[in-house]
Amino acid sequence: MRRTVPLLLIAVTFAFLLTTLVQAARDFYEVLDVPRDATKTQIKRHFKKLSRVYHPDKNSGDEESAQKFMEIANAYEVLMDDEKRAIYDRYGEEGLKQGGGGRGGANMFHDPFDIFSHFFGGGHRQGQQHQERRGPNIAVPLQVSLEDLYNGAEIEVDVSKQVLCDHCHGSGARKAEDIHTCDVCNGRGIVIKRQQFGPGMIQQFQQTCQKCNGKGKVITHNCPVCNGQKVRRGNENYSITIEKGMHDGHKIVLEEEADEYPETIPGNIIFEVKTAPHPVFERRGNNLYTIQHINLIDALVGFRKTLKQLDNSEVELVREGVTQYGFVQTIPGHGMPFENEPSRKGDLFVEYQIIFPTEIDDETIEFLKKGSKFPAKLPMNHQEL
């Protein structure tokens, strides 16, 4: 019993110290601004955006940005590796440095510039200031219900698109060591050709290097996943926010989420709102229109009934006296929410159409001719005019 207590105290103390070290270290999830249960898709998306912002080529001489870039790249490498992420989640960064997964030590992280160049196509480490190419946008029609536009909604959308290969990060190579500078053009992608036309007459011109096809690099072993194509087809799931009152044709833009290409900034995915037909209501601007059918008695003596609104609340419809065929009743404040002011709503317009009886018995005809009161019951066989 005397030996058990000290061992327990030692274990508790060690756990406390380890927890303290983990808390004091950098939080890779905070560095990439993602939740702890983030998917690889989320991690990749945030890494792309943050690394472009803090890359040293765009922040020349800014040591803080350079340090931030290093942190972003290191966090990305750990969280995208299942084994490293599991060790980090359990023991923190210190656990990785101590070799928790058999990969620790000084070489725990790769060169962050190599990660960036593999992800975006290379060339940044040497500081080339070439103009970045941009891929095309993708237009996606997004059909939503009138209820979604009235109440607001979160819609999950699955988009099939081209993505950089996860294995080679768009390099096309099996591993980084399989990428070499072309020995014909010395990495320039072009070669100088000279042609003599006559004595003392020599013409010099540039030509795309045939060995590397103008890329400046050659790959000795292709990536086994994409077979050197650098890209593959993939599916991305997006959560699209539909705000109250959005109009048909409204465009929702997801920046740099379109097809991915090596050495190219992705274009945008542009979702265009398309309102699905509704069985009861028709939207016209910020107003709603509907047709309600009433029988002849209701048309002559009035009625009180309810109409279910798009949020399942009930709108009371009240008419006194005679209602003419085609009469439109205006109910203020029961239309669609205004897009930028959802507490404010348009109007609801209700058009009444009367269902007339198909047959009238002789007794009813006599009462009508004499202007007397109607019988307690009219024939129930009606048709709409």
Which one of 63-77, 192-206, 210-224, 368-382 scores highest in mean pLDDT?
210-224
Higher pLDDT, 15 or 217: 217
- The answer to whether position 80 is within a domain reads yes
Question: What pLDDT band is residue 255 in, cutting at 50, 70 and 90?
Answer: confident
Label residue 25 by pLDDT band (50, 70, 90).
low
Distance (Å, whole) CA 238 – CA 41: 10
Residues 71 and 142 in one domain: no
3-state SS class at 329: strand
Bridge partners of 231? Answer: 164
More confident site: 309 or 66: 309
Does 104 lie in the same domain as 22?
yes
Range scoring the smallest mean pLDDT among 4-13, 153-162, 168-177 = 4-13
Place of tokens 């540039």: 206
261 to each of 75, 163, 172, how far by Cα in Å? 23, 7, 12
Pick from 374, 371, 353: nearest CA to 295:
353
Average pLDDT over residues 121-147: 72
pLDDT of 334 strictly over 50:
yes
Report residue 265's pLDDT band, with 50, 70 and 90 as the boundaries. Answer: confident
Pair (140, 267) in one structural domain: yes
**Cα–Cα distance for residue pair 41/301, rounded to 1 Å:** 64
Q: Give the Cα-Cα-Cα angle 306, 311, 316 (nearest 5 degrees).
A: 20
Q: Residue 71 and residue 192: Cα distance in Å, rounded?
A: 42
Residue 58 belongs to domain spanning: 4-130
Task: Say what the pLDDT of residue 324 is.
Answer: 94
- Do 263 and 297 reside in the same domain of the chain? no
Q: Which amino acid is at 299?
A: A
Q: Rounded to an integer, what distance in angstroms lies between the CA atom of residue 157 and that of residue 152?
A: 16
For residues 42 and 59, membership in a common domain is answered with yes
Q: Is the pLDDT confidence value at 136 over 80?
A: yes
C-alpha span between 45 and 255 (Å, rounded): 11
One domain, residues 273 and 287: no
Are 157 and 263 in a shared domain? yes
Whether residue 115 sits in one domain with residue 25: yes
One domain for residues 357 and 263 = no
pLDDT at 116 (0 to 100): 54
* pLDDT > 90 fraction of the chain, expressed in percent and rounded: 34
Whether the Cβ atoms of residue 193 and residue 156 lie closer than 8 Å to each other: no
Single residue among 88, 111, 130 that ends a domain in this structure: 130
Extended beta strands in 49-137, E state: 133-134
- The answer, yes or no, to whether residue 275 has pLDDT greater than 80, is yes
If one counts the domains in the chain, the total is: 3
Q: Tell me what the pLDDT averaged over the chain comes to.
A: 80
Q: Which whole number is the average pLDDT over 337-362?
A: 92
> How many degrees, rounded to 5, is the angle at CA 239 between CA 238 and CA 243?
140
The pair of three-digit structure tokens given for residue 341, joined into one six-digit string: 């002011």
Could you give the percent of the chain with pLDDT greater than 70?
77
Q: Quick one: 337 and 369 in the same domain?
A: yes
Does residue 182 form part of some domain? no
Q: Provide the pLDDT for residue 57.
A: 60
Rounded (10°) CA dihedral 104, 33, 63, 179:
50
Residue 212 lies in a domain: no
Residue 174 inside a domain? The answer is: no
DSSP 8-state assignment for residue 326: T
Residue of 53 and 134 predicted with greater confidence: 134
**pLDDT band at 382; cut points 50, 70, 90:** very low
- Cβ atoms of 40 and 80 closer than 8 Å: yes
Condensed to tens digits (0 to 9), the pLDDT of residues 281-310 reads 999 999 999 999 999 889 999 999 999 999
User: What digits encode the pLDDT tens for the residues 278-288?
Assistant: 999 999 999 99
Q: Which two tokens stand for residue 106?
A: 């000084």
Classify residue 23: in a domain, yes or no.
yes
Q: How confident is the model at residue 331 (pLDDT cuts 50, 70, 90)?
A: very high
Pick from 350, 344, 346, 319: which is nearest to 334 by CA?
346
**CATH number reported for the structural domain that contains residue 347 in this entry:** 2.60.260.20
- Tell whether the torsion through CA atoms of 8, 14, 17 and 21 is positive or negative: negative
Q: Alpha carbon 235 to chain centroid distance?
A: 12
Q: DSSP letter string over 352-367?
A: EEEEEES---HHHHHH
Count of alpha carbons within 13 angstroms of residue 176, beta-carbon side: 12
d(CA 294, CA 304): 11
Per-residue confidence (pLDDT) for residue 325, from 0 to 100? 94
The average pLDDT across 229-251 equals 91
Name the residue type at position 223: C
